[in-house]
Amino acid sequence: MARKNNKTKNLVLMGIMTAIILVMGLTPYGYIKTGTLSIALITIPVAIAAFALGPQGGALAGLSFGITSAIMAFTNPSPLMVALTDISPVRTVILCVVPRVLVGLLAGTIAHVLKTIKLPGHYLRPTKLPAPIVGGIAGFSVAFLNTVFFMSTLLMMFGDSETVKGMEGHHNLVLFIIAVVTLNVAIEWISCTVLTSAVALALSKARLIDAPTPKKKKATV
């Protein structure tokens, strides 16, 4: 019965996070546009899903993030996305979707592993890492990996494009990225870390997360 209840809670939470991602991704609330690139606040529900639901939930949330990002790239694009879709719509979709799925998957894996760590304490009741710490690390992981994976994929797929190299007068794409995303990265990393940590605490207190438990050893006669 307990396992069934946990599955139900996980499904409900996944549905809520997916709905939030879709709303944020398809409205101005998920992104703050700052010239060429955007600050992605939508990473926050992805991080919450990764923390609460592990690799599968994180990957599904990342997929939702990627799909909405791809839709916005064609319907309400930033200047960068306008340039990229002109070069290759297919590569632009891959850029929007694949890194985000990997982000959710890896962040969910990190959160899952952290939940299984037992800190030194009483051998009968070992202490686990506090939910806010695990949530904060999951939030930072999503924001950090989103930056690294997105920019790496951008360099890999569009780095040789003269259109992208010439944007904002920068001839070196790496220098262009560093110059443009420094403030964006700081805001994304801080907001995602702090807010995911706060939500993790709330979910833990409300007993809405299913933390992994170590297997019990069989009694020996």
The kind and range of the H/E element at 33 are strand 31-34
Report the candidate in 84, 74, 111 with the shortest Cα–Cα distance to residue 173.
Answer: 84
What is the band of 124 on the pLDDT scale with cuts at 50, 70, 90?
low
More confident residue, 106 or 157: 106
The kind and range of the H/E element at 64 are helix 43-75
What average pLDDT does range 56-68 have in this prediction? 96
The residue assigned the tokens 């950090």 is 144
168: its two tokens: 């904002």
Check residue 107 and give its pLDDT. 97
* Helices marked H in 76-172: 79-87, 89-116, 131-158, 162-165
- What is the rounded CA–CA span in Å between residue 4 and residue 55? 19
Q: 118 forms bridges with which residues in the sheet? A: 128
Which domains, ranges and CATH numbers included, belong to the chain?
Answer: 2-205 (1.10.1760.20)
Q: Which amino acid is at 27?
A: T
Per residue in 134-168, pLDDT (tens digit) is 999 999 999 999 988 988 898 888 877 776 666 55
Question: How far, rounded to the nearest angstrom, does the alpha carbon of residue 74 sit from its chain's CA centroid?
Answer: 22
What average pLDDT does range 186-209 have in this prediction? 88
More confident residue, 6 or 217: 6
Question: How far, rounded to the nearest angstrom, does the alpha carbon of residue 196 sit from its chain's CA centroid?
Answer: 10
Here the contacts of 200-205 (C-beta below 8 Å, separation 24 or greater) are: 200/48, 200/51, 200/52, 200/131, 200/132, 200/134, 200/135, 200/136, 200/138, 201/131, 201/132, 201/135, 203/48, 203/51, 203/52, 203/131, 203/135, 204/131, 204/132
Per residue in 9-60, pLDDT (tens digit) is 888 999 999 999 999 988 877 777 665 566 778 999 999 999 999 999 999 9
